[in-house]
Chain A
Amino acid sequence: MTLLSVKDLHVSVDGKQILNGINLEIGEGEIHAVMGPNGSGKSTLSYVLSGREGYTVTKGEILFKGENVLEMEPNERAGAGIYLAFQYPVEIPGVSNLTFLKTAVNAVRNARGQEELDAINFLKYAREKGQILEMKDELLKRPVNVGFSGGEKKRNEIFQMAMLEPTLAILDETDSGLDIDALRIVSEGVNKLRSTERSMIVITHYQRLLDHIVPDFVHVLAQGKFVAEGGKELALELEKDGYAKFGIEDGAPQAA
């Protein structure tokens, strides 16, 4: 069944056209990789799906579970099951990771008509999910992302994903800034969270992440459009031949 359906999506930022007609169908449990050079519109796609302000949809539609996502606030989208693992996770000083997550988990549980977790059950739940990502207790108690290493931040993003149990997870360059060990932990975590009820969009520059998180489909984004689409072998071709094969120069200065 189709979980996400993006049709002819055009998006502009500050009057500048970034996405020029994206079409994307994602079924339940599918993993889609979106690859492309800098400035091709990868992050814009992740933000417009999750509802960030400042991204104007000039044409097209996004349906999630058959509902018009564009009419939903970011928190409503989160409640509906859309999760974005940020490329640059944000620090929130003075708010412990656990406090933050308890608020978040109960907010989405509310939105999904589930009962809120009390402190004890929440802690149990957090410890259980924390094991997937090898999260130390100390990391749970520290303020959100404050003083975290690059690897810890990304691990924390996937940990939050485990906690919030989305049906669609968007991983925006989760591999950037990770050393080999961190990449392993993070991608193993992601793989443990794969299920027939959870679809993912994995945004990345590099094939190496896709060695760990093997996608069902690969889309190549350039200048705001998918210029090539195929199975996992497409990523390997890209790795070998570069974007030039698709008539794209890597690093083309095409806005953010």
Chain B
Amino acid sequence: MTPPAETAPIFEEAAKREYEYGFITDIDSEFAPKGLNEDIVRFISGKKGEPEWLLEWRLTAYRHWLTMQEPKWAFVNYPNIDFQDAYYYAAPKNDENKPQSLDEVDPKLLETYEKLGIPLAEQAVLAGVAVDAVFDSVSVATTFKEKLTDAGVVFCPISEAVQTHPELVKKYLGTVIPYTDNFYASLNSAVFSDGTFVYVPKGVRCPMELSTYFRINAANTGQFERTLIVADEGSYVSYLEGCTAPMRDENQLHAAVVELIALGDAEIKYSTVQNWYPGDEEGKGGIYNFVTKRGVCRGNNSKISWTQVETGSAVTWKYPSCVLEGDNSVGEFYSVAITNNYQQADTGTKMIHVGKNTKSTIISKGISAGKGQNTYRGLVKALAGADQARNFTQCDSLLIGNECGAHTVPYIEVSNPATQVEHEATTSKISEDQLFYCQQRGLNAEEAVSLIVNGFCKEVLKELPMEFAVEAQKLLGVTLEGSVG
């Protein structure tokens, strides 16, 4: 992260401001009983003061979910999840159980923050020290609200958007990922707690990068966020999602849904640095990250670009995808997924070419260390009408050590003879030669691995906005600690 020094006071200020709104008390009071049933769905909807249509939508989703089976096709292993043995609403950490000061926070955690170059004030935030629960990106966003409002950009919690822009939410919610889409998306549709809504009006270039850097962390509970981003004709927005807060909970489920809609000539750039708690060295604990992300290039000449750096979570199941409906639309997927210790990642993308002359690029870099298992799973599909569709896919895997695994499962389905699909894949190991070469030049083993891995990921990292790229580089190093020597 390492935001420029001058922004720190802004965060502080924003945090204080949020206090005035009493946001923290709200969170504290919002508890739902354990388990999942229609009453819980009603409870959540009621808490949000949602309109009838949304409650109905949630309930329909819930009833549909009941008919569904948990997907088992991914190359991941985890014990069965008891969906009744979980809280579906809020359940923020009780303030009394929270560390009250940095002294009470696990020193190992602090050490990690130190290495990430996160200033002390922010370390406190990330560790979830009591006062800072308010410290979320929405509050940060409020400092820029005026500028965004002037530009006509809507950037707010989705629960707020339901109240302030119901027509937009109603028009687009679930149109990219319907509540029937898959097991976790259906679950999310029924119980989503909050999330972000972004609308960029026609012809507007969003004047700043939008970010939910702290929000997920601060919410501390929002394991079912739902994000909806609509870029109207000719607009542009770059959105950053950071989940760098290691959660210390045991095998918590995180099932988010992200929908992107790009209308004619619009462009959405969505970047993620995911660092949920991966579990400990023995594979105990960690987040199950079962996320559905999809964007649709609805209009001609539109573009959606996903960039993700996945370093955290015990199990990752995630395929940010693009449906290229508009003619000449472009989809991109740049991914770095890293697994260390007992982490498992099954991740990739789907590029669905519908319109003519559509283009997609997939660059996937998988890094496995320790006993980590890393799978790239991707689909490139060209429908009959997708004349002159083109795809380029490159999947590179890097192995560190002898106990990890890398797997590549590319699916290609082409129904149009004028389609051009390229797939390149490599698997390599960090060689002893490379390690020794770096060490002979003064780098210690960890610095050497970090440097080599960053080089391996360069094509993806360069797609990230500057501040994120710096953070991602450091994260890669931290994630791989202990993987050599």
Interface set of A (CB-CB < 8 Å, partner B): 50-53, 73-75, 77-79, 83-84, 86, 88-95, 99-101, 103-105, 107-108, 111, 143, 160, 164
Contact = CB atoms under 8 A, between A and B. Distances in A.
B458 A94 contact: yes
A103 B447 contact: yes
Interface stretch (B43-51, B109-117, B157-165, B448-456): B448-456
Given A78-B440, A95-B454, 19 more contacts: A53-B436, A74-B439, A74-B440, A75-B439, A75-B440, A75-B442, A75-B444, A78-B441, A88-B433, A90-B431, A90-B436, A94-B458, A94-B459, A95-B455, A95-B458, A100-B441, A103-B447, A103-B451, A104-B441
**Most chain B Cβ neighbours within 10 Å, of A84, A91, A95:** A95
B315 to A, nearest CB: 28
B443 interface: yes
Contacts of B444: 73, 75, 107
Interface of B: 431-434, 436-445, 447, 451-452, 454-459
A84 B440 contact: yes
Contacts of A73: 439, 444-445
A94 B440 CA distance: 19
Contacts of A52: 436
A107 B440 contact: no
B427 to A, nearest CB: 14
**Most chain B Cβ neighbours within 10 Å, of A77, A88, A94:** A94
Contacts of B439: 51, 73-75, 78
9 contacts: A51-B440, A74-B439, A75-B441, A78-B442, A84-B440, A91-B434, A92-B455, A95-B455, A104-B442
Given A52-B436, A92-B452, A107 B441 contact: yes
Contacts of A89: 437
10 nearest interchain CB pairs? A94-B455, A95-B455, A107-B442, A94-B458, A104-B441, A74-B439, A90-B437, A108-B442, A78-B442, A75-B439
A160 B445 CA distance: 19
Contact of B454 (A88, A90, A94): A94
A143 B437 contact: no
Contacts of A79: 442
B434 A90 contact: yes
A50 B433 CA distance: 13
Contacts of A86: 437, 440
B388 to A, nearest CB: 32
A170 B410 CA distance: 47
Given A79-B442, A107-B442, A143 B436 contact: no
A173 to B, nearest CB: 16
Contacts of B455: 92-95, 143
A107 B445 CA distance: 12
**Most chain A Cβ neighbours within 10 Å, of B434, B440, B447, B452:** B440
A99 B470 CA distance: 14
Contacts of A100: 438, 441, 451
B454 A107 contact: no
B366 to A, nearest CB: 15
A201 to B, nearest CB: 14
Task: Decide if the interface of chain B is mainly helix, strand, loop or mixed.
Answer: helix
A111 B442 contact: yes
A52 B431 CA distance: 13
Contact of A107 (B437, B443, B452): B443
A74 B445 CA distance: 9
Contacts of B437: 86, 89-90, 92
**Most chain A Cβ neighbours within 10 Å, of B432, B436, B437, B442:** B442
**Most chain B Cβ neighbours within 10 Å, of A86, A104, A108:** A104
A42 B457 CA distance: 36
A107 B434 contact: no
**Most chain A Cβ neighbours within 10 Å, of B432, B438, B451:** B438
Given A100-B451, A103-B447, A107-B447, A92 B441 contact: no
A89 B439 CA distance: 13
Contacts of A160: 441
**Most chain A Cβ neighbours within 10 Å, of B431, B443, B445, B447:** B443
Contacts of B440: 50-51, 74-75, 77-78, 83-84, 86
A93 B457 CA distance: 10
Contacts of A143: 455
B456 A94 contact: yes
B338 to A, nearest CB: 15
A63 B452 CA distance: 31
Contact of B438 (A51, A77, A92): A92
B451 A164 contact: no
Contact of B433 (A90, A93, A95): A90
A107 B431 CA distance: 21
A164 B434 contact: no
Contacts of A92: 434, 437-438, 451-452, 455
A22 B457 CA distance: 44
A66 B409 CA distance: 56
Nearest to A145: B437
B443 A103 contact: yes
B441 A164 contact: yes
B336 to A, nearest CB: 12
Nearest to B456: A94
B225 to A, nearest CB: 33
A86 B445 CA distance: 18
B412 to A, nearest CB: 27
Contacts of B443: 75, 103-104, 107
A108 B445 CA distance: 14
Contacts of B442: 75, 78-79, 104-105, 107-108, 111, 164
B436 A93 contact: no
A94 B441 contact: no
A91 B437 CA distance: 9
A181 B432 CA distance: 32
Nearest to B428: A93
Nearest to B452: A92
A93 B365 CA distance: 13
Contacts of B436: 52-53, 74, 90
Contacts of B445: 73, 75
B183 to A, nearest CB: 37
Contacts of A111: 442
A9 B447 CA distance: 31
Contacts of A95: 451-452, 454-455, 458
Nearest to B432: A53
Contacts of A83: 440
A83 B437 CA distance: 11
Nearest to A47: B436
A73 B455 CA distance: 24
